[in-house]
Chain A
C-alpha cells in the first residue's frame, strides 16, 4: 500500500467530484436512514446530556417544529425519556451549519455528484438574527421555518425541476474570484446563486407577492448560499472518503462540545476532543465571554479546500486573521503546508491562480504542528441568542494525533 497514491486518489476524487444542485425535498424522502424520531445534528456524535446551549435549543425547536412536542418543557421531557435519537448529519450524507439540526419534515437541498453519483444534503439557510441554527425556537423562528418549508423550499425545488441543475462547483469557483472564501463570506456566492435561480423562480411562482418575498429573502441573506455550498463540499469530500490507506481528512465538524474529524483511510471512526472557543470580532454588546465552543458542520468548506484555506482571496474580511491582506495571504500559504494538493477548479487570482490548498493530510498536521484554520461564525453560548461574532478557530491537534495512532494500528505500522 502506498500512502501517496492513496492520497492522490482521495484528493483527485474530491476535486473531480461535480456537485450539482438538483432539487429540494423533505429530509424523510431523500436522506438515507431518516425517520420521524431522529434528529440529525452538526459535528461528531453526542448525547443530550453533553449538548451545549445552542444545540439544545435547536433540538427543542426542531421537536416543536415537527409537532412532537407542544412546549419546550415537553420537548425536553421527550428527549430525556429517550424517545428521540440523535445522529450526526455527517453519517447521513448531510451537513448543517451551526447546530445543524435537521428533522424528518424539513426541506433540504439535494446535491448530486455528477462524476461519482453520490448525493449530499443540507437544510435551508434561515438568515441572520434569531434562528434555529443558533438554538432559538421562539414562535417567530418557527414561523419563518414553516414559511421556508412551505413556500421557499418547494419554490426552489420547482424552479430546479426539469433543469440540468445548478453547477455548484462552477459557482464556488466563480465566487472565489469575487472575494468570497465560501465560509464566512458568501456575499458573491449568494448573489450568483440568486441570479441563477431567479428566472426559474419567476417561472414557477405565479403570485407576485410570494415571488417578491422569496427573492427578497434570498437577496437579503448574505450567507444564504452557505448551505448549498456546504452540501457541495460534502459531496466532494464524501467522494474521497473510504480510500484504503489514505491519510486525507474527509470530515471536520463540531457539535458545540466536541470537535471531530474523520479520515479517508479510517472509515467509520470519529476522532474527537473538546472544541475550542473561537477567537474573533464581536457584534455590539457581545464579547469573548459570550462565545460558545466551536459549533457547526461548516468546516466542511475548509475540508474541501475553501473557507479559511482560501483566505488569500477574501481581502474584505482580513480582520479575522490579523487585519492586513498580507495576513490573509499568509493564512492560505500556511494551509499549503498541511495539504496534499492544489485545487484544480478553485483558484486564487492573488496567488497567480494557484489552486486552493486541498486535502488535509493528518501526517503533515501532526508533523508540523499546524492545525487547519477554520473561519467561523461564533454562537452565543446560551440557546436562542444567535450569532455574536465571527472569527477563527483551529481544531485541537490531539484529534489528528489520535488519527495517526489509529492509522498505525489499523495498518500495522
Chain B
C-alpha cells in the first residue's frame, strides 16, 4: 500500500524550473513512486489532484506556498524523501561546468580577440579553407597540415602578403614565436639569432645547436617545404626575412632550405643582402657561391650555420651589407667579358645567386645557355676564350681586339648597367693590356650618355712583366673600379645590383612577434593547444568539424557563397 506524504512551506518561492528539478530529484530516491513539487496555485493543485497527489492537508496550501508531495511505497520512504528536499535544493552541480568551446574560427576570435595566430592542423583537404578564414579574420597562420594543394598554398600566401600577414606552412611542423614553440618545438633559450626555415627539422637542428652553444633564438619562422619552389616564389621566406630584419631582438639571421629553385634563391639572397643584418645561409645541396658575399655567409651544414651565427652575433660591429655610396643598379643588366675560363665560371657561380638567369656561352646550367654568343641578353657573362670566339684568332689574353669590340657593343646597349672584365697578367699574356683597354673604357664611359660602370679584376703578381700596379692605375684613371682579388670584385658586383623591388605589399607588423603573452587559436590537434597553455601562452581550442558535416556538395556551395 503506497503512502502519500506532503509538506507545505509557507511563503517559500522557487522558480518552477528549480521545482521541476527538485521533483526529478525526489523521484530518484528509494521507494518513491511519484512526486509533486509546486507553488500551490489553484491550477497547480488541480494538476496534483489529477495525478492523485493532492492530500487533504495540501488543500490548505495557497499560491504563495511551496507544496511538496511524495508518494512512496511506505511512510518511512516518503518521510525520508521529504527529508532530502533541502539537500536536493542545495546541491551544487560541481560537474558539468564546461568552458565554451567555439565551433567556428569567427567565434574563437571573438572569444580571444588578441589572438594574433591561428594554428591549423585539420586534415589537408580542409586546411586551406580554415587558413583562408583565418586570413580573412586578419590573423597570421601556422599551417601544420600537409596535403594542401600547391595552388592553394600559392593563393593563401598571395592573400596573406596582400594583407601583411604571414603563412607558415603548409607542412610547417615547428616554429618559435617570442619564445613560445608552435607545433613541435624544442625548448630553446631566447637569444639574438632569428631563423627563417623551409625545413622543420632543419629549424629544430639549428635552434638546438644554437642553444647548445650557449646562444638562443629570437624567433624561428617556418615557411613550409615548398615555399622556395618557383611556383610559390618564397613569399613567406621573404616576408619572414623582412620581419626579422626589422625585429629589434634579432641580430643575426639564419636562412635554411632544401635546394631552392635558382631564380627563387636569387630573389631571396638579394633580399638577404639588402636586409641590413648578417645572414647565414644554408641551402642544403645548393652550391654556395662563396663563403661570404657582403653580409651573407654561406654554411656547409646546419651545425656550421649555427656556429657561424653564434660567432657573428658576438661581434660588436655587425656586417650590415653592401654599403656603397652609389645608388644601386636595379633594373639594368650585367655583362661580363672574360678572358679566363675558370675565372668566368667562378664569377657565374657566385653571381647567379644574385643575378638569375645569368646567360653564358659556357653556362652553369643548360637553362642559362646563351642562344647566340654574338648577342648578349639580360645578364650575360662570356668566356671569350671559348672555342666559338677563338676560331681563327688569338686567345683574348694575348689579343684584345675581340674584347674591345665587344666592350663597345655592350656599352652601346642602353640596358647594360655594369660591365665586368678580367685582366690576366703574366708571362705570355699581352704585354700591356691596359694600354688598349683603358682608352676604350674611357671612351665608352664618356660616350655612354647614361650611368655605366666598368669593373676590372686583375689577376697577377707584382713581379709580373706588365707592372701590375701600373695596369691597375691606368684602368682606374680611365674610370673603372679595379680589384686585385676576384672574390672582392665579385662581392662588389653582387652588391651593386640591388634587390629587385619586391611588391609593394604591406609589411608584416613586428608587434605580432613581440606579443606577450602570445595569444593563438588552435584548430585541430589538441596537444598544440595544451602545449601553448603550458608555455604560458593564451589559447582557445576550436571544436572543429568538417564543414557541412563532410557533405561535399553543400560544402562546395558554401565555399562559393563565401567568395561572393
Contact between A369 and B545, CB atoms less than 8 A apart: yes
Residue of A with least CB distance to B52: A285
The yes or no answer to A284 lying at the interface (CB within 8 A) is yes
B98 surroundings in chain A (CB, below 8 A): 326, 330
Flag whether B43 is at the interface (Cβ < 8 A): yes
Q: What would 12 A/B residue contacts be, using CB atoms closer than 8 Å?
A: A281-B20, A284-B53, A284-B69, A316-B17, A319-B20, A333-B102, A333-B107, A366-B548, A370-B103, A404-B557, A404-B558, A413-B564
B564 contacts A368, CB within 8 Å? no
B100 touches A330 (CB 8 A): yes
A residues near B102, Cβ cutoff 8 Å: 333, 337
Judged by a CB distance under 8 angstroms, whether B104 is at the interface is: yes
Neighbour of B20 across the interface among A1, A283, A337, A408, CB < 8 A: A283
- Chain B contacts with A in 37-61, Cβ cutoff 8 A: 37-38, 43, 46-48, 50-51, 53
The listed residue with most A CB atoms (<10 A of its CB), out of B17, B20, B104, B557, is: B17
B24 interfacial contact with A, CB 8 Å:
yes
- Judge whether A336 and B20 touch: CB under 8 Å: no
Bound Cα distance from A324 to B545, whole angstroms? 26
Q: Out of B36, B38, B554, name the residue touching A404 (CB < 8 Å).
A: B554
- Interface positions of A from 97 to 128, Cβ below 8 Å from B: 128
Residues from chain B with a CB closer than 8 A to the CB of A285 are 34, 36, 47-48, 50-51, 53
- Residues 531-564 of chain B, each 1 if its beta carbon lies under 8 Å from chain A, else 0: 0000000000000010111010011011011101
Query: Does residue B231 face the partner (Cβ distance < 8 Å to A)?
Result: no
How far, in whole Å, are A168 and B48 apart by their CA atoms in the complex? 36
Chain A neighbourhood of B557, CB < 8 A? 404-405, 407-408, 413
Check: A364 CB closer than 8 A to any chain B CB: yes
- In the assembled complex, the CB of A171 is this many whole angstroms from the nearest CB of chain B, namely 21
Q: Is the CB of A366 within 8 A of B564?
A: no
Q: Give Cα A401 to B50, complex, Å.
A: 44
Q: How far is the CA of A129 from the CA of B34 in the complex (A)?
A: 21
Q: Which of A2, A129, A368, A389 neighbours the largest number of chain B CB atoms within 10 Å of its CB?
A: A368
Task: For B560, give its contact among A322, A368, A413 (CB under 8 Å).
Answer: A413
Contact of A363 among B20, B37, B47, B558 (CB under 8 A): B558
A327: interface (CB < 8 Å): yes
For the complex formed, measure the closest distance between the CB of A332 and the CB atoms of chain B, giving whole angstroms: 9
Set B15, B46, B558: member contacting A317, Cβ < 8 A: B15
**Could you say which residues of chain A place their CB within 8 Å of the CB of B548?**
366-367, 369, 401
Q: Residues of A contacting B97 with CB < 8 Å?
A: 324, 326-327
Give the bracket for the number of chain B residues in contact with chain A.
35 or more
Chain B min CB distance to A338 (Å)? 8
The tally of residues in A whose CB lies under 8 Å from a CB in B reads 42
Nearest CB in chain B to that of A413: its residue:
B560
A322 to B97, CA, bound (A): 9
CB distance from B9 to the nearest CB of A (A): 16
Q: Is B516 an interface residue (CB 8 A)?
A: no
Instruction: Tell me if B428 is interfacial: C-beta within 8 Å of chain A.
Output: no
| CB-CB under 8 A for A128 and B564, given A283-B20, A366-B554, A368-B103 | no
Interface readout for A252-269 with B: 1 if CB under 8 Å, 0 if not?
A: 000000000000000000
Separation of A2 and B51 alpha carbons in the complex (Å):
58
Residue of A nearest to B21 (CB): A319
Tell me whether B564 and A2 are in contact (CB under 8 A). Answer: yes
Task: Point out residues on A near B: beta carbons under 8 Å.
Answer: 1-3, 128-129, 247, 281-285, 316-320, 322-324, 326-327, 329-330, 333-334, 336-337, 363-364, 366-370, 389-390, 401, 404-405, 407-408, 413
State the main secondary structure of chain B at its contact with A.
Answer: helix
- Binary interface encoding of chain B residues 96-138 relative to chain A, with 1 for a CB under 8 A from any of its CBs, else 0: 1110101110110011000000000000000000000000000
Question: Are B100 and A333 in contact (CB-based, < 8 A)?
Answer: yes
Task: State whether the Cβ of B18 lies closer than 8 Å to any Cβ in chain A.
Answer: yes
Chain B residues in 8 Å Cβ range of A404: 554, 557-558, 561
The residue from A284, A330, A333, A407 contacting B561, defined by CB atoms under 8 A apart:
A407
Q: Which of chain B's residues 80-99 have a Cβ closer than 8 Å to chain A? A: 93, 96-98
Q: Are A282 and B558 in contact (CB under 8 A)?
A: no
Q: Can you name the residue of chain B whose Cβ is closest to the Cβ of A179?
A: B15
CA distance A173 to B562 in the complex (A): 33
Cα–Cα distance between A336 and B549 once the two chains are bound (Å): 19
Residues of A within 8 A of B554 (CB): 366, 401, 404-405
Among B193-228, those with CB < 8 Å from A are none
In the A-B complex, the 6 residue pairs with the closest CB atoms: A285-B51, A284-B36, A281-B20, A319-B17, A333-B100, A330-B100
Residues from chain B with Cβ under 8 Å of A330 in the complex: 98, 100
Whether B17 lies near A320 (C-beta < 8 A) is: yes
In the complex, what distance in Å separates the CA atom of A401 from the CA atom of B547?
12
**CA of A322 to CA of B93 in the docked complex: distance in angstroms?**
10
Which of B107, B561, B562 is close to A337, meaning CB atoms less than 8 Å apart?
B107
- Chain B 377-408 residues near chain A, CB threshold 8 A: none
Query: Are A368 and B558 in contact, CB atoms less than 8 angstroms apart?
Result: no
- B100 and A369 within 8 A (CB): no
6 additional contacts, CB 8 Å, given A367-B558, A368-B104? A281-B17, A316-B15, A337-B106, A366-B548, A368-B103, A408-B561
Cα distance A390–B46 when bound, in Å?
19
Contact yes or no, B53 A323, CB < 8 A: no
Give Cα A284–Cα B37 distance, bound, in whole angstroms. Answer: 7
Would A337 and B50 count as touching, CB distance under 8 A? Answer: no
Interface membership of B353, Cβ < 8 A: no
CB-based nearest B residue for A338? B104
Distance between Cα atoms of A326 and B18 in the complex (Å) = 16
Set of chain B residues within 8 Å of A319, measured between Cβ atoms: 17-18, 20-21
Q: How far is the CA of A363 from the CA of B551 in the complex (A)?
A: 13
Given known A-B contacts A283-B20, A366-B558, A408-B557, A324 and B51 have beta carbons under 8 A apart:
no
